[in-house]
Each structure stands twice: as C-alpha cells, then as structure tokens.
Structure 1
Amino acid sequence: MSSIPHKSGRSARAVEREASRWAARLSLGVLSPEDEAAFAAWRAADPAHAGALDRMTAAVESLGSAEPLARAVDARAREAQAARRRVLGGAGSVAAALVLVGGITLWADPATLGADRRTGVGQVEAVVLADGSRLWLDAKSAVDIDVTATDRTVTLRRGRVFVEAAHAPPGAPAFTVEAGGGRAIDVGTAFVVERLGDQVEVTVTEGRVDVVSGGRVVALAEGQAATYEAGIVPARHAPDVLPAAWRQGRLVISRRPLSAVVAQLNRYSRKPIVLTDRAAGRRIVSGVVRVDRVEDDLDSLARTQGLSTTDIGVAVWLHR
C-alpha cells in the first residue's frame, strides 16, 4: 500500500483516504457551506491533494452507478470521525447504519437470492449431486440444481463452477450447465463454466463439451475454451494452464486482462477491489495468487504493472 509522505508530513495512504472521502461527498452533493470551506482549505494545504482528488474522482466516475460505494466511503469517514470524538449516538449511529447498508449494497447480488447453492467471499464448496456428479462452486458463486431421472441441469447464476459429470446410463439426459443465454453440454467430461459480466467462458479440462449459444454449436476438446455472449467465440487454447487450481487455494493466471483478474480476485477479497484505470485494465498479465493472501499478492501484482494500492476502509483502490 502507498505510504510515501507528502508535504503535510502525512503518508500517501492518508492523503488518498481523505481524497476518497471528499470525492465521495462531492459526487453525492452533500457539502454544507462549512464543508465547502473545509474542502477548500484541505485542497489548498498541499499540492498533492489536488492530484489525489482527481484520481479518486475519476475512480468514482468510472464505476458508473457509484452512489452506493460513494455513500459507503462517506459513511466510513464520518464513522471514524465520530469515533475519534467518542460520539456513540446520533450521527455516529446513522454513519454506522450507512456503512452497513453500503457494505451490503457492494456485495449483495439479487441474482443469487433463492439460489439452491451459493458461496460467500473466499468460500469454495464441493457438492455431490443425486446422479453422482460433483460440483465445486468458486467463491461468490450461485447455482440452481435440477438433477432428476429426466433432467440433469445446473444453472450458473453467478461466479464459477467446476463440474465432474458422472457418466449417464443409456437414454439418460446429458449433463448441462446453463449460463447467460447459452449452455455447456457434457460429453463425458470435466469442465469449468465462468460468468464474466455478460460473457460466459467454458474451459474443458478432460473429455469434450458442446457449447451452444445463439443458434451455434462449438465442440471443445480437452485444453480448449470458448466464450459466448451473443454468439460464440471460436474454440481456442484454454487461457489458464490450471483453470480449476482455485479448488486448491490458488488462482493460476495466464495471459488475462487485468480487469478480468481483478474480477476474479474480488471473489476472495474481504473488501471490493476497484481498478481505477481503464487502460491498465486492458493489460495482459500472468501470475499466481494465493486465495487466502489476496491483499498481499495484489500489492505484488500492482507493482509489476506500475500501479499502487490504497486501502480506503470500505474498498481498495488499484490505481496509478
């Protein structure tokens, strides 16, 4: 994390944290006349403040619908300020409530509500199905399971799942994973299905899988992958040499866009990781991340890309 001191004598981390608070409050339009005076004084106190504010403002704007995060950042700052004054009621209670609401907003996903199985941050779960097939749900994943004598379908609502499909007796339905308007149909195999925003990626680790989307079918062999959204990207070599290593506590990343890597790390990070530089998000990176040491390995990854990390309390900024 950044710690270089500025003109004021405070560390870069402290300056970035203050800048994130001001960026959040400015985006919400909640400054009183007293706040505006305090903001002007803060900005003028150190030339580094303006630069930090610009970075944090750009980060908030890059999130699109950033109000929940902005409110959480502002609330956390207010809570800390209230704690320093030892105020336990009134505004302090409101701030604590906002922190809770902000945290839920940041992490909750309506798409997972009511799912048959779902995992939380950093949680990987193994499930044995009625037909003998086995699933491994990655962290922050959710599935619906419909495995009977006449149907063997798993619907991936969110995240990533590794499947070892049991061989079906003659006449039994093929094991199928549905996700994002398409499906992966087992041909006696083991494979990974991952939702990446609006895209879905299927990677075969053993046997074969037929991927169906948009009226097209692509047959994948061991070591191949395909991505679909509206239609299917042709089969290619799998991007990750060990696509299911997360089951053993490691993310093995091979030539992935940094933005996709951050999305994966957010399944294991205790705080949301926010990549503030879109251009950096397109960089292709490789490496190994320990899922129980995400924060430490994120620092190392950031340095290889000339980036820094700043913990602002409710999130971690990944920035220049």
Structure 2
Amino acid sequence: MQHAADWFALLRSGDATEQDRADWRSWLAQSPEHRAAWAYAESISRRFAPVQTPENRRAAAAALTQVRQTRHGRRHLLRGIVALAGTGLLGWAGWRHSPLPELTLAWSADHHTGTGEIRDIALADGTRIWLNTASALNADYQPALRRVDLLGGEMLIETAHDARPFVATTRHGRLRALGTRFTVRLDGDTTLLAVYQGAVEVRTGQGALRIISAGSQVRFDNAQIQPTVAADPAREAWTRGVLLAADIPLKDLVAELRRYHRGHIGVAPQVAELRVLGGYPLRDPERTLAMLESVLPIRVQHTLPWWTTIDPK
C-alpha cells in the first residue's frame, strides 16, 4: 500500500518520466498484491470529482478512506491507500476513523465526536461522560432507569448519586454501575471495560455475569468474559489529552495515535517493537511524532501531507 501511494503520487504529479512509467508497469507485474493495491487506489479516485479553485484549476482534492473487510470470518482493517482525484497534489480531505456502520449511526446519535475531538458531557442528573475521538452515544433517561448506549468509540463515565440504576450498553452486553468511575471502549469484536472507582457488573448478551472491581479491567464479547487484569492507566489519561505509554511497543502507541490523526501512519517492522515510555499530546499528533523521533532511532517521513511512515533512522 505504501508503494501504491508513492506511485500514485508520482504518476499524478506531472513529473513522471517514461522510465518512471516503465518502472511502475514492472512493479505492477511483480505480484497480485501490487495490482490489487493499485486497483483500489484507482477505484477510490473515481469516486471523487476534482475540486476546482480560481487560483489553480488543476488543483484536485485528495480522498482517503478506511474500509473494513470481512475475510475468512475475521475483520481486517485496510488502512490508508491514498487516492488523488485529479492531477494536482494541493488539496486533501480528511475522513473519520470509525467503521462505516458505526459512523452511520453516529450522525443521528445524541452525542458524537469527530476525529481528534474529546468532549466533556454533563447529563441531566449530574453524571459526567467524556467522549473520546470518533465516538458516539445515545442517552435514555427514564423514571426508573438511567441508560447510555455506546454506538462506537470510547467513553469515560463518572456517575452521579441517584436512586435510579445506571447502565451502559454496547453491542456485546450490559454494564451496571455500582457507584463508580469507569471507561468503556468498543474495540473490534470485543468491549473493553476498565474500572477506576467502585465496581461494575458485566452481563454479556448471552448472560455471562461478573462483577469487576476498581483497579481492574476486562474484555468481553456477546458470549464470554475474558480473565480480569489490572486496569491500564492509559484508558483514563486520554480524558486529559494525554497518550500514556508505559513501556509499550511503538506499534501499539501508533495504533492509538491513529485514532486521533486525520491521515495514515505506518510503522516499519524493523522499529515496530521499540519500547516507548512517557506521556504524549493526543491533540497534536505531529508534535507526538516529533517527540518520538527525537528519542528513538526512527525517521518520520511524509510521503504526502496525509501519508506518514516511521522507518529506521
């Protein structure tokens, strides 16, 4: 995909030579994967019309998208083929980093956030909810029950005192707060719960039940609840705009940073396992990348304004 982006940028720039075109045709012929990546880039470019501007009518808008595909029963994320809709490289359009079905729901949700946005929401009873990047929820307060439904993304809940029970739901099950502060995250095919105060009762869609106490976190799906582990402080730090790395691989930090960045960030396998420590600004991905480049043996490259790769220095 990186090579496809490089070739696409070159061939649409107007600077490609006959030798460049010959090399591109040779690259296409090398493997079916190359041809598939190129075909995807072309298919995206056809979906968007060029954006004409008075200053430069050759300028075109870039269109980027993220697609979830089903293959062999598992969901794979196809990240970041760049497609330029025209011959220029001057414009580009951002996109949301959420699965398309969840994004559709987000448009009509009671509360939602865009990529890189974090919101602090106060509900009618005084409960506070921090809604993370590219997330959406509905709130349903009734005389006998307080309920919020997480449609996508992540939220941190700090419940207010009220006689009515407070429950949070995802597509995998139901969480009943027992006087508490906790985070809920839809993470692929599971829900991640981390409890920081009080306790939370987890009930999966198929009825599995467990109470998770403060200082613990757990993953669950519709059928089962995985073993409980210590709560990750990073799952709370994002509410303060901090990306917390406690001796984690670089690839894991970048995976989290992608959620806040309107563009593709790739990591070369040679540096993917480098260990990272510290706190980094979530709302400024470019600054975070510069900080990482200053302390690790890596080089951050921008093939296109929206296409970033991290390689060995």
CA RMSD of aligned residues (A): 4.4
Task: Confirm or deny: 8 A CA contact 1:239 1:256 kept in the other structure.
Answer: no
Partner of 1:237: 230
Which is richer in strand? Answer: 2
Which amino acid counterpart does residue 239 of structure 1 have in structure 2? D
Q: SS at 1:131's partner residue?
A: coil
- 259, 284, 292: which one pairs with 1:293? 284
Larger relative contact order (C-alpha < 8 A, sep ≥ 6)? 1
2:182 is aligned, of 191, 194, 199, to 191
Report the structure, 1 or 2, having the larger helix content. 1
Judged with a 3 Å threshold, the aligned counterparts in structure 2 of structure 1 residues 276 and 136 are, in CA distance, closer, same or farther, namely same
- Per-residue displacement from partner, 1:245-296 (whole Å, max 9, x unpaired)? 2222212233555444334323333x32433446865776443111233222
Q: Deviations over 1:219-255 (max 9, x none)?
A: 1111100012352211110122x53222222122335
Amino acid of the structure 1 residue aligned with 2:121: V
Q: Which residue of 2 aligns with 1:92?
A: 59
Q: Name the count of aligned residue pairs.
A: 272
Partner of 1:165: 159
CA contact (8 A) 2:250 2:271 kept: yes
Q: 1:254 aligns with which of 235, 246, 249?
A: 246
1:12 matched to which residue of 2?
none
For the 8 Å contact 1:185–1:210, the answer to whether it is kept is yes
Cα deviation, 1:160-212, whole Å, max 9, x if unaligned, reads 1110112331xx3x212212322322011010112222332111110001122
Give secondary structure in 2 for the equivalent of 1:244: helix
Residue 127 of structure 1, aligned match among 111, 114, 121? 121
Contact persistence 1:138–1:161 (CA under 8 A):
yes
- Which position in structure 2 is the counterpart of 1:138? 132
Q: Which amino acid in the other structure matches residue 163 of structure 1?
A: I
Q: How does 1:61-100 map to 2 (within 5 A)?
A: 67=41, 71=45, 88-89=56-57, 91-93=58-60, 98=85
Provide the residue aligned with 2:20 in structure 1.
Answer: 39
Unaligned segments of structure 2, at least 5 residues: 64-83
Secondary structure class of the residue paired with 1:207? strand
AA aligned to 1:39 is: D
- Hey, what's the Cα distance between the residues in 2 that align with 1:231 and 1:166? 29
Counterpart-to-counterpart distance in 2, 1:165 and 1:216:
24
Kept in 2, the 8 Å contact 1:162–1:192? The answer is yes
**Partners of 2:175 and 2:196 in 1: CA distance:** 13
Write the letter of the residue equivalent to 1:249: G
Q: TM-score normalized by structure 1?
A: 0.67
Structure-1 residue corresponding to 2:219:
227
Cα distance between partner residues in 2 of 1:254 and 1:139: 21
Change (3 A) 1:195 1:313: same
Contact 2:203–2:209, Cα closer than 8 Å, also in 1: yes
Query: Take 2:40 and 2:23, find their aligned partners in 1: how far apart are those partners?
Result: 24
Normalised to the residue count of structure 2, the TM-score between the two structures is: 0.68
Distance 1:156 1:279 in 2: 37
Distance of 2:199 and 2:268 partners within structure 1: 38
- 1:13 is matched with none
Uncovered stretches (5+) of structure 1, i.e. residues with no partner: 1-16, 44-49
Partner of 1:217: 209
Q: Is the 8 A contact 1:68 1:106 kept in 2?
A: no
Decide whether the 8 Å contact of 1:249 with 1:292 is kept in 2: yes
